Chain A
Amino acid sequence: MASKRLTENDVTPPEIYRGRRLFIASAAALLGAGWVDRQAFPACALLKNPDTLKAAGEKPNTLEEITSYNNYYEFSTNKEAVRILAQELTTSPWNVVIEGEVAKPITLGIEDILKKFPSEERIYRLRCVEGWSMVIPWSGFPLCHLIEMARPTAQAKYVEFVSLHRSKEMIGQRGGSLEWPYREGLRLDEAMHPLAFVATGLYGNTLPKQNGAPLRIVLPWKYGFKSAKAITHIRFLREQPQTSWNKIAPSEYGFYGNVNPEVPHPRWIQKRENRIGELRKRPTLPFNGYAEEVAHLYAGIDPLLQF
């Protein structure tokens, strides 16, 4: 499968987009239009090291492994049962509502999304808060592209992702431990980070239902629970949203959910991880090995207090 990778040429240099925005803003001001925000909204940034996108030196897990061991409470708390139960899900038609602090709320069909955003491949490590990990070749597009399109207002400080609530097809939603729909969220600058990704495919094919079809968020430096699956709503907010796991166990699951071997969890050991396909545990890396790219986002934040 041919994979498209980001090169320098694919990204508009910051001087140019800032210039463009300044031009648009001044033009709008000139026209007296209120719809364009005066504060220039940053576009997708560049990664310090583009090799980060390939999980260099790591062997991706097999399709079989990735599609038969899934943490997806909407279907079951048993990771091996999700593969079967998730087949009940209807993923077409599928709409994603983009609303809240945006220039103009919009509802996009999954076909529009697939058409609008060219697909690229990213091989990311995924570290589950439960202590296991995988290396997964996703396909999809950077989240920042979608955010740029949504045009959040200057008031937007957070993004909330809401997953599908359809207990008719999602058997785990009939009772159970979480409040439905599943909600996750990010600070807007985290969401704009070039590693934040919207996955619509796996191993070059359509995303399987057990992996969050038709589209899900992937945040490789955070524990898996931050990467919401089967997204139906993307909301831009002024205040930090209440996220699902944080709501039921705030002492166990913080808003950030950054992979950190030094922040203990009451149940799972975070210093080591169980890479699927290997029997022996390996050490867990800060920010799941993406520290070089993302650590600056959390400068001045004590990870033991805000984890």
Chain B
Amino acid sequence: MFNPPLKTWPFQYFRLLWWAVLMLTLLPAIILALDYINKNLGVNGLETLERVTGRWAMILLILTLFITPGRRMLLRLFRRIGLRWGKRLPDWNFMIHMRRMLGLVCFFYGVAHAGVYLELDLSWDWDAFADDLSEKPYIVAGVLSLALLTLLAITSPDEMIRMLKRNWRRIHRLIYLIALLSIAHWWWMSKPGDLRSLPYILTLLALLAYRVIVWRSWFSGKDADDGMPVAPRESPRA
């Protein structure tokens, strides 16, 4: 799938790590499916299905957006600790190769979330869907968010990256818009006083703020790292 530039353990065991992370992030979906089969979804089953799928789409979005700043944070941490491994940014490049999988799991939860809404809430009544769209901005935000995420999922394979060249990065910057739309979606639909969405929203906003700060310093020439994906072929920077 890719050629690790360094023979450090996250690269040696990358496949194992990749599968472990995939299974871990899919675990909530598996538990939810089992609860559905065993009729163990709690008092309001529809709400549970909508909330769990929506929340996990959000968590995966956070994890996806955490990769770039997370790499640098771990680098600083490991430099401070003073271990032999982990002092160079490329040591953490394995995280970047997790990102596509995390993004696709996010897409999976988004599709499940929309599927619950279309099947159980709307019963595929398109007139009712049109009414919802005209009435509820948060549904518009959710639909737009998932539509853009679908575009990113379609353009995620290696062949598409090769084919789209520079445009691929432009397209995948839409993830920031997706994050904003998802925040709006959740915040608008939360009732006043219900702050359960707040930790997720604040984390996402912090991750977006990080980009703004990086871009600003990038434009002023202080830091060359624009927070965008580092392709494996790029030369490692210390």
Contact = CB atoms under 8 A, between A and B. Distances in A.
Interface of A: 64-65, 68-69, 73, 77-80, 130, 132, 176-178, 248-249, 264, 266-267, 269, 271-272, 274, 276, 278-281
17 contacts: A68-B43, A77-B193, A80-B42, A80-B43, A130-B191, A176-B193, A177-B192, A266-B136, A267-B189, A271-B131, A274-B121, A276-B43, A279-B45, A279-B120, A280-B120, A280-B123, A281-B123
B43 A267 contact: no
Given A269-B132, A271-B131, A279 B46 contact: yes
Interface residues of B, number: 25
Contacts of B41: 279
B234 interface: no
Contacts of B159: none
Given A269-B135, A281-B123, A276 B191 contact: no
A274 B135 contact: no
Given A177-B193, A274-B46, A281-B121, 14 more contacts: A80-B43, A130-B191, A132-B44, A178-B193, A249-B192, A264-B135, A267-B138, A267-B189, A267-B191, A274-B47, A279-B46, A279-B49, A280-B120, A281-B46
B188 interface: yes
B53 to A, nearest CB: 14
Contacts of A177: 192-193
A78 B194 contact: yes
Contacts of B44: 69, 79, 132, 274, 276
A132 B138 CA distance: 19
Interface in B131-165: 131-132, 135-136, 138
Say what secondary structure dominates the interface of chain A: loop
A267 B192 CA distance: 10
Contact of A73 (B42, B122, B138, B193): B193
B195 to A, nearest CB: 8
Contacts of A77: 191, 193-194
Contacts of B131: 271
A177 B192 CA distance: 7
A276 B42 CA distance: 10
A272 B128 contact: yes
Most buried by B among A178, A248, A274: A274
B46 A248 contact: no
B49 to A, nearest CB: 8
Contacts of A69: 43-44
A120 to B, nearest CB: 27
A100 B122 CA distance: 47
A272 B121 contact: yes
A179 to B, nearest CB: 12
A75 B115 CA distance: 33
Nearest to B45: A279
Nearest to B49: A279
A109 B191 CA distance: 36
Nearest to B137: A266
A292 to B, nearest CB: 25
A272 B128 CA distance: 9
